[in-house]
């Protein structure tokens, strides 16, 4: 079995710190099997499955189910993320220790889709995380500043009469938790940075020695609130699409290393939750199969990252942040490869109906994007090849 690699770029398999797989609870929109297929086709060899499932992944039963199912499907390493608190609006810390020590070996805990607003709960989680050697990932939203928010607070939202999500709702809580993490000597990971001001906060926190890492989504690198013009709910996402000066600042911060990595925030939704009024639509967009192409478009083509840099932001840094020793490296001598082969010159047209996800909510529908993934290998085994998953 030969893969023709003439003219292709080889990169270490990608690691996604932020994927919504919807199992258990919304298997009509994505399952661990369909999400794993999308991941393998997107060049990923490891994904972290976000905790806002139904039931919430705040206990060992749910995280072990996700872990076991990922192993059975065997297209990508699926690492469950645990919820920081119990339930969607939890006031009480989840049993992080039990999940960390379980079969699933949970190493990241997050409030994504759940929002820990209470600084005392966040402080306790950070303190607890130190002893367990796990990472707290924060959704970067002060929910008391986003009540009713439908879009980035700015000109475009005002023109359309949509309640605004201010940049300060993100920046204030990121600053707060950087200070708390520094104070207790814990690590903090910031999810989906979306504003220029958050990049400034991170630059400041890193300069003063805080152990903070951060991710940016492909959609916040490419898309801005010009997209509000059409009212198409496919563009509704949390945090919202910001301004073109934000996308510019995010690209610069990723090139500089102030933002460490790219994470998809892959968020599949059912047609009825997107083909409706803007205010009724659920936030989120697909990302696994388009991430690399958007990174090439926004970072490689303008000369902000070379291929070495792509390997860093898509694979090495996320593997380091999550503490995955067997990911994030090109082939080590004598070890089976976690590898992706990319045709950097080829261009493809995005078609949501053809993506492996059960859902079709891609904001890139009909766009021609650069970079085609020709093959993905997980520990030496081909998981995807020429747009098909291995059977």
Catalytic residue numbers read: 265
214 DSSP β-pair partners: 190
Residue 107, binding choice from ligand DOR, Zn ion, none, Cβ under 5 to 8 Å by partner class? none
Q: What character string, x for contact with ligand DOR (CB under 6 A) and - otherwise, covers 81-110?
A: ------------------------------
Q: Which residue is nearest to ligand DOR (CB)?
A: 284
For residues 144-155, one letter each, b for 16 or more C-beta atoms within 10 angstroms of the residue's C-beta and e for the rest, the string is ebbeebbbbbbe
Q: Which is nearer to ligand DOR, 143 or 330 (CB)?
A: 143
Angle at 294 between CA 171 and CA 353, to 5 degrees: 110
Residue 273 vs 316, nearer CB to ligand DOR? 273
Contact range with ligand DOR by CB under 6 A, out of 202-210, 217-225, 279-287, 300-308: 279-287
Site string for Zn ion, 88-127 (x = CB under 5 A): ------------------------x---------------
How many whole angstroms separate alpha carbon 83 and alpha carbon 77? 19
Between residues 139 and 242, which has the closer beta carbon with respect to ligand DOR? 139
Of these partners, ligand DOR, Zn ion, none, which one is at the site of residue 65 (CB under 5 to 8 Å by kind)?
none
Nearer to ligand DOR, 129 or 235 (CB): 235
Nearest CA-CA partner of 378 in 329, 342, 339: 339
Report CA-CA distances (Å) from 251 to 49, 87, 242, 320.
25, 35, 13, 21
Q: Which residues in 51-70 contact ligand DOR (CB under 6 A)?
A: 52
Considering only 138, 150, 195, 238, the residue that binds ligand DOR (CB under 6 A) is 238
Residue among 372, 365, 361, 363 nearest 351 (CA): 365
Q: How far is the CB of 268 from ligand DOR (least distance, A)?
A: 8
User: Judged by CB under 6 A, does residue 26 bind ligand DOR?
Assistant: no
Q: Does 79 bind Zn ion (CB under 5 A)?
A: no
Nearest to 66 by CA among 44, 93, 35, 94: 35
Region label for 255, one of left (φ > 0), alpha (ψ between -120 and 50) or beta (otherwise) = alpha
In the chain, count of helices (H) and strands (E)?
12, 16
Judged by CB under 6 A, the residue of 237, 299, 313, 369 near ligand DOR is 237
What distance lies between CA 268 and its chain's CA centroid?
12
Which region, judged by CB under 5 A, interacts with Zn ion, from 86-94, 132-140, 244-252, 273-281? 132-140
Q: What is the CA radius of gyration of the chain?
A: 19
Q: Which two tokens stand for residue 129?
A: 């995380």
Tell me how far, at minimum, the Cβ of 269 lies from ligand DOR, in Å: 7
CB atoms within 10 A of CB 256: 11
Q: How far is the CB of 247 from Zn ion (least distance, A)?
A: 18
CB of 289 to Zn ion, least distance (A): 17
Query: What residue ranges bind ligand DOR (CB under 6 A)?
Result: 20, 52, 112-113, 139, 237-238, 267, 282-284
């Amino acid at each position: 079995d030969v893969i023709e690699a003439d003219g292709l770029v080889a990169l270490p398999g990608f690691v996604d710190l932020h994927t919504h797989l919807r199992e258990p609870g919304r298997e009509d929109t994505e399952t661990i099997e369909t999400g794993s297929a999308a991941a393998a086709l997107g060049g990923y060899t490891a994904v972290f499955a976000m905790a806002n499932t139904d039931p919430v992944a705040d206990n060992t039963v749910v995280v072990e189910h996700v872990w076991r199912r990922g192993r059975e499907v065997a297209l990508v390493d699926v690492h469950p993320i645990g919820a920081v608190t119990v339930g969607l609006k939890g006031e009480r810390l989840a049993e992080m220790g039990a999940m960390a020590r379980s079969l699933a070996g949970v190493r990241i805990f997050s409030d994504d889709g759940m929002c820990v607003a209470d600084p005392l709960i966040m402080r306790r989680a950070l303190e607890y995380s130190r002893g367990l050697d796990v990472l707290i990932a924060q959704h970067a939203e002060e929910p008391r500043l986003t009540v009713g928010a439908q879009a980035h607070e700015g000109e475009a939202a005002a023109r359309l009469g949509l309640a605004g999500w201010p940049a300060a709702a993100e920046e204030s809580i990121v600053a707060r938790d950087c200070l708390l993490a520094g104070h207790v000597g814990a690590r903090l990971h910031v999810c989906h940075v979306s504003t220029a001001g958050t990049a400034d906060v991170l630059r400041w926190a890193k300069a003063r020695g805080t152990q903070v890492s951060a991710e940016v989504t492909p959609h916040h690198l490419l898309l801005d609130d010009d997209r509000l013009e059409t009212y198409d709910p496919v563009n509704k996402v949390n945090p919202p699409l910001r301004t073109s000066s934000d996308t510019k600042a995010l690209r610069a911060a990723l090139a500089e290393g102030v933002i460490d990595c790219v994470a998809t925030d892959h968020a599949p939704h059912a047609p009825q939750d997107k083909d409706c009024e803007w205010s009724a639509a659920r936030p989120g967009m697909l990302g696994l199969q388009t991430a690399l192409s958007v990174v090439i478009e926004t970072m490689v083509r303008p000369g902000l990252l070379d291929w070495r840099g792509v390997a860093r932001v898509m694979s090495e840094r996320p593997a380091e942040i999550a503490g995955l020793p067997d990911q994030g490296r090109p082939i080590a001598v004598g070890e089976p490869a976690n590898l992706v082969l990319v045709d950097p010159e080829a261009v493809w047209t995005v078609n949501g109906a053809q993506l492996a996800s059960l859902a079709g909510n891609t904001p890139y529908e009909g766009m021609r994007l650069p970079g085609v993934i020709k093959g993905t290998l997980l520990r030496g085994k081909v998981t995807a090849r020429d747009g098909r998953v291995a059977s």
